[in-house]
Amino acid sequence: MRGTARCGNGIHEMMNAVRDEKAALRREIFAARAAMPFDRREAADAAITEAVLALPEYKAAKQILCYVSMPHEISTKALLGAVLRSGKTLGLPVCDTARHEMQFYRLDAVSELRAG
């Protein structure tokens, strides 16, 4: 039995629905985070960082890919510092929006970070 499978518009509709749901969830989470008092956000960020550092996958990894957080996101500042102090290789994404590409670059010190 031979034939050709085709993806109809159903798959695109499903992908669009998932994209829309994710966008709505992000807005909801960002709004909830923005409504939190600053000290509570800092405590939540610290708890998340501690949880990541305690993961067996983190402990076993030699290389870590992370991101530099934006103000509305969970702060990664403490996590980046911990990764660098641990001696693990830290890679951060740099997005080329014109080419729709993302590349990862090694960061050896937080002082190397530049805006943009």
At residue 111, the 3 state secondary structure works out as helix
Tens digit of pLDDT for each residue in 61-85? 999 999 999 888 899 999 999 999 9
Note the pLDDT of residue 34. Answer: 86
Domains of the chain with CATH codes = 9-112 (3.40.50.10420)
Compute the mean pLDDT over every residue in the chain, rounded to the nearest whole number. Answer: 89
Residue 103 amino acid letter: Q
Note the pLDDT of residue 1. Answer: 46
Please provide the size of the chain in residues. Answer: 116
Predicted TM-score (pTM) of the model is: 0.74
Q: Which structure tokens are listed for 99?
A: 């080419």
